[in-house]
Every structure is written in structure tokens, then in C-alpha cells.
């Protein structure tokens, strides 16, 4: 009887344990994927943002082995940061046997990639992601208005000016790689067909229409454009209406002509004759007198000192003494993560317009040819994609360096 009781008790125990095992297995039943497909719709319709309602996983969150890549809070903070990583592209969609939809997504900066709950319909975005327009329509200039690249844009040594899409508004669409030398487009003119604003950084972008295939359809930040004024008809220069302007390098009292720097002033007045004094009342097509013209065209890297001769005559020469201009290097440091590493190929040169500026002289009271102080110049030329933070040093002198801390734009 004792043996029978033991058998009965043992059988009962196994039965209870077996029942518990069945219940445990049922409780641990994981979802499985019934469909996993590449999204093939227009990529611009698959731009989304994280809502902060769900976390990002290595696979659909209800699948066995799914691990959290980023919490819902992290994703919410990322969206609020207004950086390149705040925008997201969805590129795969999966459904589970429980009717849940998951999207595989990647941030525009590539730092986060994984699966996130997207609701219960493959036709809409929901759950952890929401549709997002990376651009908003803006008012475009008159369709007939002619534009060109601004001088500051043409001076850039790398192409951070001409893009296939407005910067940071499409995944992996950046500055067009076929354009490397911006100065090749100094004479190119174009019109604007469309304008949009990037709501992350409030920059406005213009889409170009041009006979130049390299530029047609491309996008440029409006701050990198200048109005292209119709060219004024040029007068034919003769001894009766023109004066040759020769620039002499006064450094070390050499007074040698600056190589390839001669200019020709031509008045629009049709009554002048050779030998007549080119008085200030005679102006050229830009309404500049001879002396204004001579000062405006001082060779790059030089500063005006004085006029060598007075009362230059038509058919003659106006000599202008210049000297090597005092300059300061402006170096931009990426302070986004407190690394303060120089940003490659963004160095600028501030050139004093005044001849009394010399190496070792404090820069604070001087301006460049455009009337900008060093601080204004440095802020104006902050590299694209960055914003000004602070000046690292405040005692820059000519011949030295002004360091500027910048951070990636939000």
C-alpha cells in the first residue's frame, strides 16, 4: 500500500509539473513574422520622426531575442534635438502573427538603425514613428530674376554649396560629388524654380534652373546666392577716354609693379580727349571716378597706401602705391563634443583694408574691404552645418590666428 501511495503521489506530482510546464511554455510564446518586405514607395514619402512612444529594437520587439537599441525616452530626446539624426527614413516593413506592424528605420546620420513598432496597418505610420515633412514650401523669388553664386560661395575650397537636395533633408543625399571646383561657376547665372525651408535649422533653399547641366535642378542655400545684375555695355577703351591704373608694391620701398594687376578705367563721357585731366566728375559705367575705381580694384592681398601722381590724364597712367595687407588666419574648431579639433578645409583669411595695419598689431580696430571687423568676418564664415559658439582667444594680432569654437547646427 505504501508503494501504491508513492506511485500515486509521484504520478500526481508529474502531472502537476507537466501542467505547469505547459502553462509556462504558453506564457513564453513569442510572436513570429508573417511578412518582411522592402519599402519601394518614393523615399521622400518615407521620412519619419520618432514619437517617443516606443523603443527601437534589433528586431520586432515581440520576437524572441529582440534587444533594445534605444529606449523610447532616448528617441523622444533625439527628435527634440533638431539635429541631422532627428530625421528618420523607413525602408522595410514587417508584420507579425499578432497583427502588429514594425518598420525598419535609420536616422539620417546613420547612428541609429533598427525595428520599431509602427501600429497595425502597413499603409500608415503609427506607434513609434510619425510621418514628417523635412521641408516646407517657401516663397520663391520672381521666376525671371537672375541669380549667381555669391563671392563667398565661390571662394569655398570644398563643395558645401551646391546640393542634390536641400542639405540634411534627405537620407544620404548631400553635396553633389561631380562639382568640386566652385570657382568654375563664377560666370554662371540661373533662375529659381522652387523654394523650401528646412524646419530643423530654418534655412531656406532655392532650386535652380540653368542651361548649365551641372547646375540645373540643384539646390543652393539662399544665403549663397547673389542677384545677377544685367551686364552694362562696356565702352571701347581708347586714349581719349581711358586711364591705365598701375599698382606699385611699396613694401621695402621697391615700388615694383604688382604682377598682372593693371586695370583700365574707362569713362562713359564721350567728350573727353587724350591729355585731358581725368577729373572726379568723369565716371565709368559703375558710376566710379578714377580714384574710386583705383581703390576698389586694389589687388587681392594688398592694401591701398596712396596715389603716386595727381591729375592723371586720359591716355596716361595713374600710379597707386600699395603694400602687402596685414592678415589673420581664422581657424574653426568643432566644439560639439568638446573635442575642439580643427574642421578641415574651412580656414579663412581676414585681410585688413587699412595700410597702417602691420604684423603684431591688434586686430580689434580694423576692418576688411567689406567693412567687417574680425569678429563679424569670423561669424559670417562659420562653416555650413555649424553655428557660432565663442571666440577661443580674444587677443588676435595680424600675422597670428583667431580660433573660433563652433558646434554642429541643431
- 12 is a domain residue: no
Give the mean model confidence (pLDDT) for residues 308-318.
Answer: 96
Do both 206 and 179 map to the same domain? yes
- 338 is a domain residue: yes
Do both 257 and 308 map to the same domain? yes
Do both 144 and 217 map to the same domain? yes
pLDDT classification of 174: cutoffs 50, 70, 90: confident
Per-residue confidence (pLDDT) for residue 99, from 0 to 100: 95
- 340 is a domain residue: yes
Per-residue confidence (pLDDT) for residue 255, from 0 to 100: 81
User: Which CATH number does the domain housing residue 72 bear?
Assistant: 2.30.30
The model's pLDDT over 93-128, given as tens digits with 9 standing for 90+, comes to: 999 999 999 999 999 999 999 999 999 999 899 999
The model's pLDDT over 368-391, given as tens digits with 9 standing for 90+, comes to: 888 899 999 999 999 988 999 999
Do both 222 and 141 map to the same domain? yes
Asked whether the beta carbons of 278 and 241 are under 8 A apart, the reply is: no
Do both 126 and 40 map to the same domain? yes
Could you give the C-alpha distances from 63 to 25, 34, 51, 58, 121, in angstroms and in order?
A: 15, 12, 22, 10, 18
The model's pLDDT over 178-224, given as tens digits with 9 standing for 90+, comes to: 788 898 899 899 999 999 999 998 999 999 999 998 999 999 999 99
Looking at the chain, the whole-number percentage of residues with pLDDT higher than 90 is 70
Q: Mean of the per-residue pLDDT values for the chain?
A: 89
Do both 299 and 332 map to the same domain? no
The model's pLDDT over 238-259, given as tens digits with 9 standing for 90+, comes to: 999 999 999 999 887 778 899 9
Do both 317 and 372 map to the same domain? no
Give the mean model confidence (pLDDT) for residues 352-357.
Answer: 86
Give the mean model confidence (pLDDT) for residues 160-173.
Answer: 90
Per-residue confidence (pLDDT) for residue 280, from 0 to 100: 94
- 20 is a domain residue: no
Domain count, the chain: 4
User: Residue 255's domain spans which residues?
Assistant: 242-323
Asked whether the beta carbons of 294 and 262 are under 8 A apart, the reply is: no
| Residue 270 to residue 278: CA distance in whole angstroms | 13
The model's pLDDT over 10-54, given as tens digits with 9 standing for 90+, comes to: 444 444 444 444 444 445 689 999 999 999 999 999 999 999 999
First-to-final CA distance of the chain? 82
Per-residue confidence (pLDDT) for residue 21, from 0 to 100: 47
Q: Residue 339: is its pLDDT beyond 60?
A: yes
- Of the residues 91, 115, 131, the one at which a domain ends: 131
Per-residue confidence (pLDDT) for residue 20, from 0 to 100: 42
Do both 279 and 366 map to the same domain? no
- Of the residues 265, 289, 323, the one at which a domain ends: 323
pLDDT classification of 7: cutoffs 50, 70, 90: very low
Cell for 385?
552645418
Q: Residue 3: is its pLDDT beyond 70?
A: no
- Of the residues 110, 131, 152, the one at which a domain ends: 131
Of 62-66, 90-94, 339-343, minimum mean pLDDT range = 339-343
Per-residue confidence (pLDDT) for residue 191, from 0 to 100: 96
The residue ranking higher by pLDDT, 143 or 16, is: 143
- 394 is a domain residue: yes
Do both 44 and 126 map to the same domain? yes
- 89 is a domain residue: yes
Per-residue confidence (pLDDT) for residue 19, from 0 to 100: 46
Could you give the C-alpha distances from 335 to 160, 312, 338, 345, 406, in angstroms and in order?
A: 20, 54, 4, 16, 6
The number of beta carbons lying within 10 Å of the beta carbon of residue 321 is: 17
User: Which CATH number does the domain housing residue 219 bear?
Assistant: 2.30.30.170
**Residue 173: which region, alpha, beta or left (left: phi > 0; alpha: psi -120 to 50)?**
beta
- 377 is a domain residue: yes
Do both 127 and 152 map to the same domain? no
Do both 126 and 141 map to the same domain? no
pLDDT classification of 77: cutoffs 50, 70, 90: very high
Do both 52 and 127 map to the same domain? yes
| Residue 194 to residue 208: CA distance in whole angstroms | 8
- 22 is a domain residue: no
Amino acid at each position: 500500500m505504501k508503494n501504491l501511495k508513492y506511485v500515486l503521489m509521484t504520478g500526481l506530482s508529474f502531472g502537476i509539473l507537466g501542467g505547469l510546464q505547459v502553462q509556462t511554455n504558453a506564457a513564453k510564446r513569442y510572436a513570429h513574422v508573417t511578412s518582411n518586405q522592402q519599402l519601394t514607395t518614393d523615399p521622400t514619402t518615407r521620412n519619419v520622426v520618432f514619437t517617443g512612444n516606443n523603443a527601437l529594437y534589433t528586431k520586432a520587439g515581440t520576437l524572441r531575442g529582440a534587444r533594445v537599441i534605444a529606449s523610447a525616452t532616448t528617441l523622444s530626446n533625439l527628435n527634440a534635438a533638431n539635429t541631422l539624426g532627428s530625421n528618420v527614413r523607413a525602408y522595410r516593413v514587417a508584420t507579425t502573427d499578432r497583427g502588429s506592424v514594425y518598420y525598419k528605420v535609420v536616422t539620417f546620420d546613420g547612428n541609429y538603425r533598427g525595428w520599431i513598432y509602427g501600429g497595425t496597418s502597413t499603409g500608415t505610420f503609427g506607434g513609434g514613428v510619425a510621418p514628417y515633412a523635412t521641408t516646407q514650401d517657401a516663397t520663391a523669388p520672381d521666376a525671371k530674376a537672375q541669380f549667381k553664386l555669391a563671392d563667398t560661395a565661390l571662394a569655398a575650397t570644398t563643395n558645401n554649396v551646391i546640393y542634390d537636395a536641400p542639405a540634411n533633408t534627405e537620407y544620404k543625399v548631400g553635396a553633389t560629388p561631380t562639382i568640386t571646383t566652385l570657382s568654375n561657376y563664377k560666370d554662371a547665372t540661373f533662375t529659381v524654380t522652387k523654394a523650401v525651408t528646412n524646419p530643423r535649422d530654418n534655412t531656406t533653399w532655392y532650386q535652380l534652373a540653368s542651361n548649365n547641366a551641372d547646375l540645373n535642378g540643384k539646390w543652393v542655400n539662399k544665403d549663397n546666392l547673389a542677384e545677377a545684375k544685367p551686364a552694362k555695355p562696356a565702352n571701347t577703351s581708347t586714349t581719349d577716354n581711358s586711364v591705365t591704373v598701375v599698382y606699385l608694391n611699396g613694401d621695402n620701398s621697391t615700388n615694383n609693379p604688382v604682377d598682372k594687376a593693371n586695370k583700365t578705367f574707362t569713362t562713359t563721357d564721350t567728350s573727353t580727349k587724350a591729355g585731358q585731366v581725368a577729373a572726379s566728375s568723369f565716371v565709368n559705367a559703375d558710376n566710379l571716378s578714377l580714384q574710386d575705381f583705383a581703390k576698389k580694384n586694389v589687388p587681392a592681398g594688398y592694401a591701398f597706401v596712396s596715389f603716386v601722381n595727381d591729375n592723371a590724364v586720359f591716355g596716361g597712367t595713374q600710379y597707386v602705391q600699395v603694400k602687402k595687407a596685414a592678415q589673420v588666419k581664422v581657424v574653426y574648431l568643432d566644439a560639439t563634443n568638446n573635442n575642439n579639433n580643427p574642421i578641415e578645409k574651412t580656414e579663412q583669411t581676414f585681410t585688413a583694408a587699412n595700410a597702417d595695419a602691420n604684423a603684431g598689431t591688434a586686430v580689434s580696430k580694423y576692418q576688411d574691404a567689406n567693412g567687417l571687423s574680425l569678429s563679424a568676418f569670423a561669424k559670417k564664415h562659420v562653416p555650413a552645418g555649424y553655428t557660432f559658439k565663442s571666440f577661443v582667444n580674444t587677443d588676435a594680432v595680424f600675422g597670428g590666428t583667431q580660433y573660433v569654437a563652433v558646434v554642429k547646427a541643431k
